Amino acid sequence: MQKRLSELEFSESGTVRDIFASRHELNCLGVRVRKHLTMITRQPIKGPVVVAVDDMEVAMGLETARCVIVEVDRP
């Protein structure tokens, strides 16, 4: 199942399929196509999300997270 990164639930994980915005910046922080990531937290009232990629944590705004498409892992 594919989801936007912004819709990933807490502790859900998945593999990045596509990135539609800020691709270069996200790539530089380790969020790249085919990377596996895990949702750490989503801040309330449209706040940023924090994800773990490899062994690193990255925080990004919600709009940016909407532009990242993730294939969700089956539990």
The site for another protein (CB under 8 A) is made up of 11, 13, 15, 22, 24-30, 32, 34-38, 40-41, 43-48, 50, 52-64
Q: Shortest distance, CB of residue 67 to another protein, whole angstroms?
A: 10
Longest dimension (CA), the chain: 30
Q: What is the CA radius of gyration of the chain?
A: 11
Q: How many other CB atoms are found less than 10 A from the CB of residue 7? A: 15
Q: Which is nearer to another protein, 3 or 53 (CB)?
A: 53
Q: Shortest distance, CB of residue 4 to another protein, whole angstroms?
A: 15
